């Protein structure tokens, strides 16, 4: 029924009107194809490229800093001449050792607070590579165990906030 009505209406149009309606139909079909298919596809491709670029940038940063970390680890792993072993034997040793190891990695301790038989440490906006070396040295050389760690992104590239580092005796 609708088809018959449309066909009757088409027959009543003169040649110029038929041409205009045909062109409008073609423009409408092209618009639907563009806005429903092509444009979402293109924006999706662009988004994926941006995500890939960001991931490649992160990967290159990790590769670059892994080398630094390994170099720092190798430096800190070398025996120190004339120094006594730094190991925690009692609860009173924990703040001293944390401060020593943080200073060795050029890290400023923001806050330390005792929590039971552990110590909670906060470091604000410090280089991630230094934090890794600090954590490695703290566990390997001090006799302390990392019980809990909460890190967030820092204000500068390559920097982090250690919101909560809980260390205790092993």
The pLDDT-based confidence of 87 (bands split at 50, 70, 90) is low
Residue with tokens 């988004």: 47
Residue range of the domain that includes 122 = 93-169
Count of domains observed in the chain: 2
Are 97 and 158 found together in one domain?
yes
For the whole model, what pTM was predicted?
0.49
* 168 contacts 115 by C-beta, under 8 angstroms: no
pLDDT for the residue 31: 95
* 112 contacts 98 by C-beta, under 8 angstroms: yes
Whether residue 137 is contained in a domain is answered as yes
What are the residues whose beta carbons fall under 8 Å from the beta carbon of 163, sequence distance 6 or more? 122, 150, 151, 152
Whether residue 109 is contained in a domain is answered as yes
Are 97 and 155 found together in one domain?
yes
DSSP single-letter state for residue 92: T
Whether residue 154 is contained in a domain is answered as yes
Question: What whole-number distance in Å separates Cα of residue 74 and Cα of residue 133?
Answer: 10
Question: What whole-number distance in Å separates Cα of residue 36 and Cα of residue 13?
Answer: 31
Whether residue 26 is contained in a domain is answered as yes
Question: What whole-number distance in Å separates Cα of residue 138 and Cα of residue 105?
Answer: 11
Are 106 and 157 found together in one domain?
yes
Question: What whole-number distance in Å separates Cα of residue 71 and Cα of residue 26?
Answer: 66
Instruction: Find the helix or strand (DSSP H, E) in which 120 lies.
Output: strand 118-127
Question: How confident is the model over 19-35, as pLDDT tens digits?
Answer: 999 999 999 999 999 99
Whether residue 105 is contained in a domain is answered as yes
The pLDDT-based confidence of 77 (bands split at 50, 70, 90) is low
Per-chain mean pLDDT for the chain: 85
pLDDT for the residue 168: 86
Which of 116, 117, 143, 146 has its CA nearest to residue 131?
Answer: 146
Q: What is the CATH number of the domain that holds 117?
A: 3.30.1360.100
Lowest mean pLDDT among 4-8, 70-74, 128-132, 150-154: 70-74
The phi and psi torsions of 158 (rounded to 5 degrees) equal 85, 0
Whether residue 70 is contained in a domain is answered as no
Whether residue 36 is contained in a domain is answered as yes
Whether residue 23 is contained in a domain is answered as yes
Are 97 and 164 found together in one domain?
yes
């Amino acid at each position: 029924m609708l088809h018959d009505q449309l066909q009757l209406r088409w027959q009543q149009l003169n040649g110029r009107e038929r041409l205009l309606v045909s062109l409008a139909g073609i423009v409408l079909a092209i618009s639907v194809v563009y806005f429903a298919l092509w444009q979402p596809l293109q924006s999706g491709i662009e988004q994926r490229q941006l995500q890939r670029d960001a991931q490649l940038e992160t990967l290159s940063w990790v590769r670059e800093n892994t080398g630094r970390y390994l170099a720092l680890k190798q430096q800190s792993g070398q025996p120190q001449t004339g120094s006594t072993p730094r190991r925690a034997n009692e609860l009173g040793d924990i703040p001293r050792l944390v401060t020593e190891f943080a200073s060795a990695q050029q890290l400023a301790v923001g806050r330390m607070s005792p929590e039971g038989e552990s110590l909670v440490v906060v470091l604000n906006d410090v280089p991630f590579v230094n934090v890794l070396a600090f954590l490695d040295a703290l566990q390997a050389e001090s006799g302390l165990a990392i019980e809990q760690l909460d890190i967030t992104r820092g204000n500068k590239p390559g920097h982090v906030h250690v919101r909560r580092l809980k260390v205790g005796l092993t």
